[in-house]
Amino acid sequence: MRHALAILCLAALAPSPSLAQSLDDRHLAVIPRTAAETARIAKVLAPPAEFSKPEPFEAKPAGAATVRAIATADAFSQHSDNMAFEREMDFKLGNALFRKTWVAAPSSTQASDGLGPLYNARGCQDCHLKDGRGHTPPTPDASRVSMFLRLSVPGGPSPEGIADWIATSPDPTYGGQLQDLAAPGHPAEGRMDVTWTETPVTLGDGTVISLRAPSYAFADPAYGAPAPDLMLSPRVAPQMIGLGLLEAIPAADILAKADPDDADGDGISGRPQIVPSVEFGIPMLGRFGLKGGAATVKEQSAAAFSGDMGLSTVLHPDPWGDCTTGEQSCIDAPHGQEPGIRDGLEVDGQSLDLVTFYARNLGVPERRNIDDPQVLRGKELFYATGCQGCHTPKYVTNRLHDQPEQSFQLIWPYTDLLLHDMGEGLADNRPEGRATGSEWKTPPLWGIGLTEQVSGHNEFMHDGRARSLLEAILWHGGEAQSQRDTVAAMQPEDRDALLAFLGSL
């Protein structure tokens, strides 16, 4: 029952003679580029010829949507700077819904009930604190931990029309993620245990860095034992800025960077994630989620309402969220759906659209210190090391009919939005769609230098294991092993310059 809509979606996926033909931008109202625009864009996107000064418009990573950099924890919570005044109300209403605290049903506050009964958070803001990165355990305040475990077992249906799909299914009892909170009268599914092991790494200049390796366990299962072949994968909430601009990058521009067989011999073989779209019923390019499991901002938002909070939307109408028939008391519990009210859903269509609009328009702050000689030297080293092979610096977004904030902007996200094998050190050994257990989608780097200011920590990677940007680099392996080794062998002044460049993003 809980996967009824997804199964219908998979059944609707017809085989296509060319998968690439279906990986279009149908989620956007695109105005096609002219030949002159295409030629001009190619010149703008060319790599820099020299590094003695910033490139034109480099200070504005989100184009006209770039917001000013403010020295507070609210740096990621501003709306696109090019937003028209009459659209600001939708952003503010979306913000209110993003910050809203939901309650379990039945409740006198019928506009806010329907939480769970099993869940991970009572509101979007609980995980995406200040719209920034989540917190890993341990923290002084356990309520600020914004991390959970994805669950799956091998085998299951594979959608037609998507090659290389690795078949997995949710755990038959616990579903697709471990929910460690519950409404009154219901036991939580269990808890996530994390054990850290420190390992010293010696750099080329003799500096010793300690890397912490996590080990995860599903502890105290409340509804019986999980499947014996259960696969676990940790997830820390990522930062929220610039999502609408990433969504507006032409799919063709992303696919053009894919090199699954490493035909150019550079050691980098990015692959596109391709997922069945719940909203459109076809295979689409996966852009969101740590393994690219969602095609659009709306689908990502709806999946979070369902999986994280147990709230129904038009895309996931089951009011019990991630609960399974192995948790029948959850399915049978009171829910927040009232016929004739809010589309008969716990989160109606208008509310989902407002949250989507909010998420699309969280602004990217302007760069800092871009003309500092150390930052410019660090940028040169970024290119010389080959980091741009995955962290593609810039794009021009589609020209759009109805999204002026994201339309035809030169942006600098530093991502190719492709899957890359990051080696055994980072492997979660849990496939997701086309992504293997060692593949991850390249995360954008914009805003990364403001992480501590916004989130109060410097924890990076999919599970927050890295406690600094240097640790994050040292965790790279697989396709990025060469780049990792180059950084480890750098002289301290070069390594500091590289980190200064990253801190300016």
Give the span between the Cα atoms of 116 and 93, in whole angstroms: 23
Give the span between the Cα atoms of 190 and 336, in whole angstroms: 24
Mean pLDDT on 167-187:
97
Give the span between the Cα atoms of 502 and 486, in whole angstroms: 16
Say what the pLDDT of residue 340 is.
81
Percent of the chain clearing pLDDT 70 (strictly above):
94
Closest-CA residue to 370 (of 44, 45, 61, 46):
61
Q: What is the pLDDT of residues 380-400, one digit of tens each?
A: 999 999 999 999 999 999 999
pLDDT band, residue 108 (cuts 50/70/90): confident
Say what the pLDDT of residue 110 is.
83
Q: What is the pLDDT of residues 84-94, one digit of tens each?
A: 999 999 999 99
pLDDT band, residue 164 (cuts 50/70/90): very high
Pairing label, strands 181-182, 118-119: antiparallel
Mean pLDDT on 44-71:
97
pLDDT band, residue 139 (cuts 50/70/90): low
User: Is-cis flag, bond preceding 117, omega within 30?
Assistant: yes
Say what the pLDDT of residue 1 is.
38
Burial 457-490 (b: 16+ CB within 10 A, else e): bbbbbbbbbbbebbbbbbbbbbbbeebbebbbeb
Hunting for tokens 């929220």 — which residue is that? Answer: 240
Q: What is the pLDDT of residues 308-330, one digit of tens each?
A: 999 999 999 999 999 999 999 99
pLDDT band, residue 141 (cuts 50/70/90): low
**φ, ψ of residue 276 in degrees (nearest 5):** -70, 120
Say what the pLDDT of residue 194 is.
93
End-to-end Cα spacing for the chain? 45
Mean pLDDT on 169-187:
97
Q: What is the pLDDT of residues 450-498, one digit of tens each?
A: 999 999 999 999 999 999 999 999 999 999 999 999 999 999 999 999 9
Those residues whose C-beta lies under 8 Å from the C-beta of residue 338, and which sit 6 or more positions away, are 110, 344
**φ, ψ of residue 163 in degrees (nearest 5):** -75, 155
Average pLDDT score over the chain = 93
- pLDDT of 367 above 50: yes
Q: 35: exposed, middle or buried (C-beta count within 10 Å: 0-12, 13-18, 19+)?
A: exposed
Strand partners, 195: 215
CA 218 to chain centre: 23
pLDDT band, residue 10 (cuts 50/70/90): very low
Mean pLDDT on 216-228:
97
Least confident of 35-44, 143-152, 366-375, 376-385: 143-152
Percent of the chain clearing pLDDT 90 (strictly above):
90
Q: How many CB atoms lie within 10 A of CB 87?
A: 15
Say what the pLDDT of residue 271 is.
96
Say what the pLDDT of residue 143 is.
54
Q: What is the pLDDT of residues 223-255, one digit of tens each?
A: 999 999 999 999 999 999 999 999 999 999 999
- pLDDT of 303 above 60: yes
Q: 23: exposed, middle or buried (C-beta count within 10 Å: 0-12, 13-18, 19+)?
A: buried
- pLDDT of 27 above 90: yes
Choice between 137 and 234, residue whose per-residue pLDDT is larger: 234
- pLDDT of 12 above 70: no
- pLDDT of 4 above 50: no
Handedness of CA 36, 38, 39, 40 (dihedral sign): positive
Q: Which of 287-291, 333-337, 338-342 has the highest mean pLDDT?
A: 287-291
